[in-house]
Structure 1
Amino acid sequence: MNKEEELLINFRDLFNKLAWLNKPKMEEHLKDYKPSEVHCIESIEKNRDANVRKLAETLYMTRGAISKLTKKLMKKGFIESYQKPDNKKEIYFKLTAQGKEIFNVHEELHKEFRERDKVVFQQVTEKEIDSMLSFVENYSRHLDTEIKKQGRTIN
């Protein structure tokens, strides 16, 4: 196995370990919600003027899937839609008070996980983090280019 293969395997293993380790707490505190619902709520809160297109891009889902998901979230009372006075065509989403509660629980859990893992990041220099960030950004751009070459779109 070459170093590139080893790196990709280690990234996958790292992601899987994080998901496995975090899952019980997430399920305990957010047991009434599907992960796709929680991530959509998070994306709406973190992206100003979130619409179907922006959510599809952020969550790597089709616009059709986002439309279904946002309708479900509106029916449950977690989000509401709105339009801007100068653009009656586009529909945007924002969280209701109930949606913000779910968002806050999710954020607190992530904060707890970051605190748990802080010991690792304290051992890494800023230069090393910058190098890792640069690699991840470059690899992400490469994958975006490959997606476009295939004529595929995320939304």
Structure 2
Amino acid sequence: MNDSSQKKIMDSFIKLMERESENDEEKQWLMQKSSHDTITDMIKGMTTLMLHVLDGIGRFEPVNGITISRQLNIPKGSVSKITRRLMAKKLIRAEFLPNNKKEVLYHTTMLGQELFNLHQELHKEMEKNFGQFLQKYSESELLVISAFLQDLAGTTFVTLEK
């Protein structure tokens, strides 16, 4: 591979990471499609991770924090912090089991269910558009792209001292 190709790939990768970290498009879409002013205001103050935890609760409810952590591949401490924030926004509620005070099951509230449904619509829209985007590539190109992305996802480019 020549230096020009490598630089183009690296520049595109950095641009993709920056775009993903901002992630304003998804929040803007949710706010535009929301028919509820309260939800629109909530979305402004939510992180992408909060939306994904709400989505996990909506998909698996009633669900405990450990399952959310495993399903979304995020630390249990992060789940605990985010669920507290979602409860403060009245998007989810916690159910403590009578025979086990440590076990907490999470459920969406009516407001949380509305945002969960809207988030599901967003994902359907993204999947549809992503499928259309991929149609411009041949099957063999898609196999190369897939292998590249799998390798990329499993690689770090930073060497940490031990």
> What's the TM-score bracket when you normalise by the shorter of the two chains?
0.5 to 0.7
The TM-score with structure 1 as length reference comes to 0.64
Root-mean-square deviation (CA), in Å? 4.0
1:24 aligns with 2:28: yes
Matching residue of 1:10? 12
In structure 2, the residue matched to 1:101 is: 114
Q: Structure 1 residues 20 and 5, CA, compared in 2 at 3 Å: closer, same or farther?
A: farther
In 1: Cα distance, 2:141 partner to 2:98 partner: 47
Instruction: Tell me which moved more, 115-124 or 45-54.
Output: 45-54
Structure 2: runs of 5 or more not aligned: none
Q: How many residues align?
A: 148
Which structure 1 residue ranges, 5 or more long, are not aligned?
Answer: none
CA distance in 1, matches of 2:142, 2:64: 30
Compare CA radii of gyration and give the structure with the larger one. 2
Q: Distance in 2 between matches of 1:47 and 1:9?
A: 38
Q: Once the two structures are superposed, what CA deviation does each residue of 1:60-107 show, in whole Å capped at 9, x if it has no partner?
A: 5671x4323211212333223346789664434332332221111112
Q: State the partner residue of 1:35.
A: 47
Distance 1:13 1:105 in 2: 27
Closer/same/farther in 2, CA of residues 22 and 93 from structure 1, 3 Å limit: closer
Letter in 1 for 2:40: K
Higher relative contact order (CA 8 A, sep 6+): 1
Q: Percent identity?
A: 22
